[in-house]
Amino acid sequence: MTAQAPFWLDPQDARYRFPDPGLALREPNGLLALGGDLSPQRLLAAYRKGIFPWYNEGQPILWWSPEPRAVLYPDRIKVSRSLRKTLKKKLYTVTMDQAFDKVINACAAPRQNEPGTWILAEMKQAYCQLHQLGYAHSVECWNNGKLVGGLYGVAIGKVFFGESMFSRETDASKVAFVHLAGQLHQWEYGLIDGQVSSAHLTSLGAEEIPRQEFLTQLEHLCEQKSVAGPWQLNWQFGA
């Protein structure tokens, strides 16, 4: 009998193997595996295969690869008329990798009309470790020295895997994202992973592509060497 998703990942398996993403469940969409751990090696192995962790408190670690996949291309970012007006006002200063811990803590804070958070303490610890290793990065949006928006994600090769964003003032997260996309385009990145489509991502130009097409692009782009230098030094946008 052929095994079916969700598959069990042995936390003691040092090879960090994942099942074929094409075996993920249709409902809930993309659930592929459970278990394992959040070590840097396992997380990086997962991203390279188009898989990411998402789970709530009290659940085991759940691993997902949804169909279709929401993606954004750095050279196709959509800037609405209202967002363009916000950008022209230069209300915010945008930096990168200046406050990763503050950004992930802000992303983890409960949202309006949403109970709890999926960015649990062990998730924050895992991504802070990836940041220390040079894989996870944050974009910060400031207003008069106060952090008002931002996002974080993981960069491998020429792919940026977006994880979460937050906004405390009008368009703050979108401003951070537009600047990120511009810099990624300059660095010749080919893809931004948005995981699952949302109204927020769609407003920025996200589109859905078949999972297999996404995986094919990953296989190519993750192996390419990025031209990016030290991100925290290369990034500084003044108000």
13 vs 23, higher pLDDT: 23
CA-wise closest residue to 153 among 183, 195, 94, 185: 195
**Confidence label for 38 from pLDDT (cuts 50, 70 and 90):** very high
Task: Determine how β-strand 136-143 pairs with β-strand 7-9.
Answer: unpaired
Q: Check pLDDT > 50 for residue 238.
A: no
Rounded CA-CA distance 60/64 in Å is 13
Say what angle helices 81-89 and 172-186 make with each other, to 10 degrees: 90
Q: Find out whether 207 and 70 touch, Cβ atoms under 8 Å.
A: yes
Mind listing the domains of the chain with CATH numbers?
Answer: 7-66 (3.30.70.3550), 70-237 (3.40.630.70)
Which tens digit of pLDDT belongs to each residue from 67-122? 999 999 999 999 999 999 999 999 999 999 999 999 999 999 987 665 557 899 99
Query: And the tokens for 70?
Result: 């929401």
Contacts with 199 (C-beta within 8 Å, 6 or more apart), sequence order? none
Predicted structure pTM score: 0.94
Q: Check pLDDT > 80 for residue 169.
A: yes
Contacts with 143 (C-beta within 8 Å, 6 or more apart), sequence order? 91, 92, 93, 169, 172
